[in-house]
Amino acid sequence: MTHRAAEDLDLVRSYLAGDVSAFDELMQAHEDRVFGICLRMLRDREAALDATQETFLTVFRKADRYKAEAAFSTWLYRVAVNTCYDLLRRQRRRRADALPDGHDPPDATAGDVLASVELRPDIEAALQAVQAEFRGAIVLVDLEGLALETAAEILGVPVGTVKSRVYRGRRALAQHLGNLRDPSEHQRDE
């Protein structure tokens, strides 16, 4: 068990024993990652904020249902993904326009900041075009960097299903994006 997981478990136990400040610590430790997952799933800042808030309200009300079989973060991220799926289902019933592109900072992990900013709207649009179940797997594995096993626990599916969803999601992204860069920039394996 990692240090963070042990600390989370202690905080959950303290919260369940009546220490509300322990829940505040849990929320502060995980709110950025939960918001990041929600933002990538929903692609709308307001919706992501709502989903983040709804996630923590759900955890606040249902913390007694957490079983320490997996890390608290795994359970929390599963609640976040399920909350996003619920919001996406509701959005299908009534479509709303997303915020205009350019409201998010560039991808800090990209090597070329200018290329990152330039490609980000296309990548986000392509990600939104991917089916929600595939998008969830891609967000957790490729964007959040979680292990396949952890993503499987969060999504409540076998590891093989996560692999399949990531593969199919990547294929859908590649088809939607096409070749965004000059072919001379790509290295060929010949």
Question: Which pair of structure tokens corresponds to residue 10?
Answer: 């202690």
pLDDT at 110: 47
The answer to whether 77 and 37 have CB atoms below 8 angstroms apart is yes
For the cut 60, the answer to whether the pLDDT of residue 71 exceeds it is yes
- The span from the CA of 23 to the CA of 28, in Å, is 9
51's CB contacts (< 8 A; 6+ apart) are: 38, 41, 42, 80, 83, 84, 87
Q: Give this prediction's pTM.
A: 0.60
3-class DSSP state of 2: coil
pLDDT at 142: 86
Residue 34 identity (one-letter amino acid): V
Task: Give the mean pLDDT of 178-189.
Answer: 49
pLDDT: is 11 or 185 the higher one?
Answer: 11
**Domains of the chain from N-terminus onward:** 1-99 (1.10.1740.10), 109-179 (1.10.10.10)
The answer to whether 107 and 116 have CB atoms below 8 angstroms apart is yes
Segment 129-149, tens digit of pLDDT = 888 888 889 888 988 888 899
pLDDT at 100: 53
pLDDT at 94: 56
Tokens 């599963």 sit on residue:
78
- The span from the CA of 131 to the CA of 90, in Å, is 15
65-99 core/surface letters (b: 16 or more CB in 10 A; e: else): ebeeeebbbbbbbbbbbbbbbebbeeeeeeeeebe
Please, what is the average pLDDT of the chain?
81
149-172 core/surface letters (b: 16 or more CB in 10 A; e: else): ebbbbbbebeeebbeebbebbbeb
Closest to 87 (Cα-Cα) out of 143, 42, 125: 42
Closest to 153 (Cα-Cα) out of 141, 169, 168, 135: 141
